[in-house]
Structure 1
Amino acid sequence: MLKFLLLCSLAAASTRAQIDEEEDVLVLKKSNFDAALQSHPNILVEFYAPWCGHCKALAPEYARAAGMLKSEGSEIRLGKVDATEETELAQEYGVRGYPTIKFFKGGDKESPKEYSAGRQADDIVSWLKKRTGPAVATLNEVTEAESLIADNEVAVIGFFKDASSEGAKAYQKAAEAVDDIPFAMTASDAVYSKFEVSKDGVVLFKKFDEGRNTFDGELTKEKLLAFVKANQLPLVIEFTEQTAPKIFGGDIKSHILMFLPKAASDFQDKMDQFKKAAEGFKGQILFIFIDSDVDDNQRILEFFGLKKEECPAIRLITLEDEMTKYKPESDAITAESITKFCTLFTEGKLKPHLMSQDIPDDWDKSPVKVLVGKNFEDVAFDSSKNVFVEFYAPWCGHCKQLAPIWDKLGEKYKDSADTIVAKMDSTANEIEAVKVHSFPTLKFFPAGDEHKSNYGALMHPAAVVAVYEALPRDPSLWMKAARAALLDVTRHEGIAV
């Protein structure tokens, strides 16, 4: 028996030795992934691409987080997978963008938790400790409470003399539902006194705006979560690479954005007006400031159809289901005008704002027709025509590679009586019927009224010509054939011309 146990120990040690490390981060592959989960029950895994800018920006913070945990003797480890090499692993875990970060707890490889906090080392470590430790820490001393508040951007403390009370139980349940903020509880008279709390309750401490918020209401899980959601972010948060996960990963899906250069002479005045309006919509609408002079923000301006010289500007967007944009009637940036705009939105009285260029005089003169928002439906929804449309972005590398293929397709069918090949710049044009989330997106609108509201998408440009030529000429079979040809562009590298 002793010999058997020794052999098992040696085998386990050998398995661990096969996993290389780079800056304290485990280098994971298909061949060692299961062994890593067995050896390290709690492991955070980043699926990355070597060419990805966001992955490169994350790398030093990710490595620092790994080193922090390792130096503490923590059982939590960080690993990384090159998803462009380990395509089977990436496909198994539904990787569709980079970086994708998942947490495997207790060696469970079937249902990893999506990482949802910030991209700084402290954010990563805090999130992991919250996921693996108790949801609520116990504070017995004033110094413990002071350290908790000092060490975190936001921290929540429940003041309960009786940890078995209904209010304390509701607080515990709320804490278990929040990943990125530390929760603690105290019954200490000294802690009560230090923070001037005279009765049981909940206080959120933060390093911005008011500094602290005291919960006022019935102590239920739902109401406590709403309280935390409404107060955990600044009244106005600046969009940066670091804050993006908090903005997009939060529960508030309605965002109002102010595009304004920090260098503007009236910057502070406009920021004060924006912040004043934000006070009335806490927990409903997230108020976001975007520096329109920052190069990395130019794509965001483009997404909203804005140019630097058109700023300052206000836009509102909802991220529920499909993204919908709204534009105020007035260009004024005052607390009153912004409040009115947001009120109309919350009351459902605003119409979506759809961008469109003017129709070019020569839009139909080339083999590939040029569509804009104003003529899209007239062309694509013509029941007598089969219409292929490429939705592209001028800056997109894949779109540029697709261009000669699309031109060939247009040339082939330029004299067809029932087929149109077209393209639309989706950075400058929007239509309600089609939501474009990536470039290029290729959609097929078959002839016949019954098909126009039920069209398919061809996501891989390399197969466009072959797929189109293989489709049956019987219109009733177009959709079936097109759907059978659906391809996922993320599973392929490059585009064959």
Structure 2
Amino acid sequence: MRICVLVSLLACCVCASEDDSALPRLTDLTAVEAYIDSAEVVVIGFLESEQSRGYKELVAAAKRVAPVPVAICSVKELWADLSVPSDTIALFRKADNHQETLVVSEAKKLETDGLVNFISVNEVRYITEYNQVTAVGLFSSEVKTHLLLFANRGSKDYDELKERLGALAPEFTGKFLFVMVNGAVKSNARSLGYFGLKSGHLPRVGLYDGGSDMKWLLPEGQITTERVRDFCQSFLRGDLKEVKQAGAEVGAKTEL
């Protein structure tokens, strides 16, 4: 009987502990900065307490966006150092050194589904797979130039190329967003067509400059880190301005 009671008490303690520590707590500036630096994308809820509006919804949303680390900072003295004026849910991403904020008091509705969407839309990584959700974050970024890898998911070199370009992306933080376009998805046919490509032409690497609405393709050949790096640097030097645009024969402007 005593053993049964002891097991029951331990079970209660574990549940309470798990509930109390549903999300990591950041209690000093060093911890906050380390957390922001710990992953490509992180979310921090600057919420005063568990009774704050949005707290329960953020805990629930965190379970649905598992790849994205989510933490809580309730120490208001730290908020001023981070330019947080009031209860706020903030997303930090390294790909473009950007901070996306959702001020709780300004949100008409604050539901779990809405927070999941807020995180998913703004989850721009060093190399982001293009789809209707991520397109919003990509095109709303202050970085308007995209380095695009067109490849068919399931092809023998898909994962290797994605990893190779993802490793190169940090060199161009703030200059390019690296984007993966899966040519095997029918909805991406329009993006391929904008560059004059079809799924059978892949893999290929392209560059799109949103500021000028101009686009170029890396010449056919092996897609190596060195060739892609030189391609990016050629754009930054202005060497691509006189190069014939990719898909020029397809005609009118088409949004990716």
2:235 matched to 1:323? no
2:238 matched to 1:437? no
Q: 2:165 aligns with which of 260, 269, 274?
A: 274
How many Å separate the matches in 1 of 2:136 and 2:79? 35
2:225 matched to 1:335? yes
Unaligned runs of 5+ in 1: 1-134, 185-203, 207-212, 214-224, 357-372, 374-425, 430-435, 439-497
Task: Flag the 1:140–1:269 CA change in 2: closer, same or farther, 3 A.
Answer: same
How many Å separate the matches in 1 of 2:214 and 2:129? 21
Task: Flag the 1:138–1:236 CA change in 2: closer, same or farther, 3 A.
Answer: same
Task: Flag the 1:138–1:349 CA change in 2: closer, same or farther, 3 A.
Answer: farther
Displacement after TM superposition at 1:249 (Å):
2.4
Displacement after TM superposition at 1:182 (Å):
2.2
What secondary structure does 1:269 align onto?
A: helix
Task: Flag the 1:162–1:282 CA change in 2: closer, same or farther, 3 A.
Answer: same
Letter in 2 for 1:344: S
Match of 1:286 in 2: 177
TM-score by length of 2: 0.57
Task: Flag the 1:293–1:161 CA change in 2: closer, same or farther, 3 A.
Answer: closer
Task: Flag the 1:254–1:148 CA change in 2: closer, same or farther, 3 A.
Answer: farther
Displacement after TM superposition at 1:299 (Å):
1.8
Match of 2:236 in 1: 346
How many Å separate the matches in 1 of 2:71 and 2:149? 29
Does the aligned pair in 1 maintain the 2:48–2:76 contact within 8 Å?
no
Letter in 1 for 2:253: H
Match of 2:195 in 1: 304
Q: 1:182 aligns with which of 89, 92, 117?
A: 89
2:28 matched to 1:138? no
What secondary structure does 1:316 align onto?
A: strand
Match of 1:147 in 2: 59
Match of 1:162 in 2: 77
Match of 1:252 in 2: 143
How many Å separate the matches in 2 of 1:310 and 1:258? 12
What secondary structure does 1:259 align onto?
A: strand
How many Å separate the matches in 2 of 1:319 and 1:239? 16
Tell me the alpha carbon deviations over residues 119-175 of structure 1, each in whole angstroms, 9 at most, x when there is no partner: xxxxxxxxxxxxxxxx9532569xx6993882554657668662575x24xx226x9
What secondary structure does 1:309 align onto?
A: helix
Does the aligned pair in 2 maintain the 1:259–1:311 contact within 8 Å?
yes
Displacement after TM superposition at 1:298 (Å):
1.4
Displacement after TM superposition at 1:325 (Å):
0.7
Task: Flag the 1:271–1:249 CA change in 2: closer, same or farther, 3 A.
Answer: same
Task: Flag the 1:259–1:355 CA change in 2: closer, same or farther, 3 A.
Answer: closer
TM-score by length of 1: 0.31
Q: Which structure has the bigger radius of gyration? A: 1
How many Å separate the matches in 2 of 1:310 and 1:330? 10
How many Å separate the matches in 2 of 1:290 and 1:249? 18
Tell me the alpha carbon deviations over residues 21-71 of structure 1, each in whole angstroms, 9 at most, x when there is no partner: xxxxxxxxxxxxxxxxxxxxxxxxxxxxxxxxxxxxxxxxxxxxxxxxxxx
What secondary structure does 2:245 align onto?
A: coil
Match of 2:39 in 1: none
How many Å separate the matches in 2 of 1:346 and 1:148? 43
How many Å separate the matches in 2 of 1:338 and 1:310? 18
What secondary structure does 1:336 align onto?
A: helix
Tell me the alpha carbon deviations over residues 423-469 of structure 1, each in whole angstroms, 9 at most, x when there is no partner: xxx51x5xxxxxx437xxxxxxxxxxxxxxxxxxxxxxxxxxxxxxx
Does the aligned pair in 2 maintain the 1:154–1:232 contact within 8 Å?
no
Identical-pair percentage: 21
Does the aligned pair in 2 maintain the 1:157–1:183 contact within 8 Å?
no
Q: 1:11-90 counterparts in 2 under 5 A? A: none
Count of aligned pairs between the two proteins: 180
How many Å separate the matches in 2 of 1:226 and 1:263? 31
Match of 1:414 in 2: none
Match of 2:156 in 1: 265
2:84 matched to 1:172? yes
Does the aligned pair in 1 maintain the 2:215–2:246 contact within 8 Å?
no
Unaligned runs of 5+ in 2: 1-44, 101-121
